[in-house]
Amino acid sequence: MPADFKILRLSDKNYPILLTEIPVPPGTIYYKGVLPDSDQPHIAIVGTRKATATGLAIAKKLARELAEAGAAIVSGLALGIDAAAHEGALAGKGKTIAVLPVGINRIYPAQNENLAKQILEMGGGIISEYEPGKPSLKNHFLERNRIVSGLSVGVVVVEAPEKSGALSTAAHALEQNREVFVVPGPVNHDNYKGAHALLRAGARLVTNAAEILDDLNLAPAHTQQTLLYMKEAGLNDDQRAVLAVLRSSGEPVDVDKIRDLTKIDISVVNRNLTLLLIQGIVKEESGRYFLAR
């Protein structure tokens, strides 16, 4: 890791614009690599350090697809979901910004030193409001979270227990008038209790990158086909069969006809149509279904 860093003050003209809008912007920023670019949308992905394999895979996939769509990914370089988000952005050949809770001359946690090096090598940045030598005090983590959300137009929460630090990032995001997105999970899993509480409080439920881009109005008209492809990428065989019928029919189709053409049990057809409706891939009118275009 290179030891050199730069200093940026709130009064400087290249201070991140979004960060100037938050209630308590850092008076001084210490950074390595690049600063956030006001011409590029930045999206934060945060979650628990003790993530499941599924949560890590989701965070990495979301970050990769968002990066491929042109967004920069912001997170806190912590173990778990944060690290997966940075890794996903790098896999998508995109830029990612890591916000530290310690002095800029250190990487915290030390296990992620190699990841921090990759972030800089791929044209990203590492930021801290703490001068060299500052240790990782407890309050620094909560203070850091306001910067993660402050740099971003939206915050995506993946796996957050009841007392997760990701919840404080979401709270800062709401205070800063940023969008908060939540990936849902099993109702009986502790890693999702905080995330589901956010959904009950009004956060947006998302299941893929296309929905995030769409909700943030970051999807220009010419990319709608790409977004539809991204939405369909994770569908099961039954859902694909249903879509094939709708795509070939040329007109809205009722459930009975879908069952007849797919040879799928009616209960399975209904269940998958509901899931497709939730994801915005299919629309329904007067009991007939058609593709959302």
CATH no. for residue 150? 3.40.50.450
**Radius of gyration for the chain, computed over Cα atoms and rounded to the nearest angstrom:** 21
Q: Phi, psi (5° rounding) for residue 155?
A: -120, 125
pLDDT in tens, 57-96: 999 999 999 999 889 999 999 999 999 999 999 999 999 9
Residue range 16-22: mean pLDDT, rounded: 92
Q: Phi, psi (5° rounding) for residue 194?
A: -70, -40
Single residue among 218, 253, 276 that ends a domain in this structure: 218
Single residue among 193, 218, 243 that ends a domain in this structure: 218
Whether 224 maps to a domain, the answer reads: no
CATH no. for residue 245? 1.10.10.10
Q: Check whether residue 43 and residue 127 sit in a common domain.
A: yes
Q: Check whether residue 52 and residue 139 sit in a common domain.
A: yes
Residue range 255-282: mean pLDDT, rounded: 89
pLDDT band at 114 (very low <50, low <70, confident <90, very high): very high
Mean pLDDT value across the chain = 90
Q: Check whether residue 96 and residue 51 sit in a common domain.
A: yes
What pTM does this model have?
A: 0.76
Tell me: pLDDT of 287 over 50.
Answer: yes
Residue range 10-25: mean pLDDT, rounded: 92
Q: Check whether residue 105 and residue 248 sit in a common domain.
A: no
Whether 230 maps to a domain, the answer reads: no
Cα 101 to Cα 129: distance, rounded to the nearest angstrom: 8
Cα 120 to Cα 197: distance, rounded to the nearest angstrom: 35
- Higher model confidence: residue 225 or residue 212? 212
**Number of Cβ within a 10 Å radius of residue 293:** 8
Chain centroid to Cα 148, Å, comes to: 12
Q: Check whether residue 71 and residue 128 sit in a common domain.
A: yes
Q: Check whether residue 175 and residue 81 sit in a common domain.
A: yes
Q: Check whether residue 110 and residue 242 sit in a common domain.
A: no
pLDDT band at 219 (very low <50, low <70, confident <90, very high): low
Crossing angle (nearest 10°) for helices 193-200 and 165-175: 20
- Higher model confidence: residue 193 or residue 240? 193
Tell me: pLDDT of 229 over 70.
Answer: no
pLDDT in tens, 143-160: 999 999 999 999 999 999
Whether 225 maps to a domain, the answer reads: no
Domain boundaries, position 135 = 6-218
Structure tokens given for 51: 């993530």
Single residue among 218, 250, 265 that ends a domain in this structure: 218
Whether 153 maps to a domain, the answer reads: yes
Percent of the chain exceeding pLDDT 90 equals 71
Tell me: pLDDT of 4 over 90.
Answer: no
Q: Point out the least confidently predicted range of 35-44, 174-183, 213-222, 236-245.
A: 213-222
Cα 22 to Cα 18: distance, rounded to the nearest angstrom: 7
Secondary structure of residue 7 in the 3-state scheme: strand
Number of compact structural domains in the chain: 2
Instruction: Identify the pLDDT of residue 222.
Output: 41
Q: Check whether residue 210 and residue 257 sit in a common domain.
A: no
Instruction: Identify the pLDDT of residue 193.
Output: 95
Instruction: Identify the pLDDT of residue 278.
Output: 78
Residue range 90-109: mean pLDDT, rounded: 95
pLDDT band at 277 (very low <50, low <70, confident <90, very high): confident
Question: For residue 59, which of 169, 194, 209, 171 has the smallest C-alpha distance?
Answer: 209
Q: Check whether residue 62 and residue 188 sit in a common domain.
A: yes
